[in-house]
Amino acid sequence: MKNIKLKIAGLLLFLFSVGGIYGQTVKTDNNIQHIALQGKSVFPEGIITLPNNDILVGGFGDGSIQRIDRDNNVSFFSQPGQNGMVIAVGFHLDVKNNRLWVANFNFKTESGNPGSQFKVFDYNTGKLLKTIPEKFVEGAFFNEVTMNSDGKVFVSDTFGPHIWSTSFELANANTFVTNDLLKNSSPEQPFGLNGLTISPDQKYLIASVMNRTIKGGGRLIRIDLSNKNVTPIELKNVEAVNSFSGSDGMFFHKEQLIMVNVYSSAGAIFTASFNKDYSEATLQIKDKFQSVYDRPTASTIRNGKLYIVNSQLNHIIDDKDGKMNTPPILPFQVVSVPLKELLR
């Protein structure tokens, strides 16, 4: 936690120094689209597709939520700083109840400590329905969000080896499981647990522990929802395993896990195919469109394309690549690539 606090002041100063509004453009090249977002400090992190095919993108730098409609027009679902949003991280849709769950993180709450909470919106109207809890959970970094079929919400904690849970009916979030397997083994890195989703059979949480400044060293972890047993997933395919530093945004598509590798220069997009009980996974690097990514963090599917956020977070969070505290390349972008070609 001490290392985290030392970085907060510099990060906040840098974010304020690059504030402003930027125009919108869409560039298309060989079936690849680059969609420009609004704002000079957005540093996009999370992304998700709504049932009406609009896409929502969250701002790590400004707390905004931007909407990309079916014609790639960009507008605000929630303006920067609106609805109590500080740093928008992971998204999840509760389609049954038309709700958007957002992990809202704050590097410096009223107490001076970092903390987290959920913001729950009606994704049709944009209305904020609930904040859980009303006060930030101090010391927690809520990151990736997922939900089971019973409406129980889970979120990874990037500051500690914890997965938290809540539901719309509750006023607080509680620790669902804590385990050292969910901890980053490197003392130099304050960030550990990141990607989180639920297996298609609804039996397991699949979590990822990242080692984001080192090629390789990422892990996938299985959490049994019935008994909370935490076990490492055996990873296969040596070349891919040695390039996998852990997943940021990830989701299942046709029984295959699509992941964004946090050490993106070793291959930004990975897939994982599992055995029946999700105790083993074969990794594959999907690098056909590698050149179009710029520190991607999450992806979503729309109309046969994978949309990826180019976060440029390495300009404000040290990834040991020499870009820390340098201006980002504007405008910030979401890039889309043909899914079929990518997964081929």
Q: Is the pTM of this model over 0.85?
A: yes
Residues contacting 98, CB < 8 A, separation 6+:
122, 123, 124
Dist CA 110 CA 172 (whole Å): 18
Range 142-153 average pLDDT? 98
* 185 alpha carbon, distance to own chain's centre: 21
For the stretch 27-86, pLDDT in tens is 777 799 999 999 999 999 999 999 999 999 999 999 999 999 999 999 999 999 999 999
Domains in the chain, number: 1
Contact (CB, 8 A) for 85 and 63 = yes
Write down the pLDDT at residue 271.
Answer: 98
- The domain that contains 168 carries what CATH number? 2.120.10.30
DSSP 240: H
Amino acid identity at 217 = G
Q: What is the pLDDT of residues 162-221, one digit of tens each?
A: 999 999 999 999 999 999 999 987 777 779 999 999 999 999 999 999 999 999 999 999
Q: Which residues of 135-152 are buried (b: 16+ CB within 10 A; e: fewer)?
A: ebbebbbbbbbbbeeeeb
**Among 275, 237, 263, 269, CA closest to 344:** 269
pLDDT value for 9: 47
Parent domain of 36? 2-343
Tokens of residue 339, six digits: 């899914």
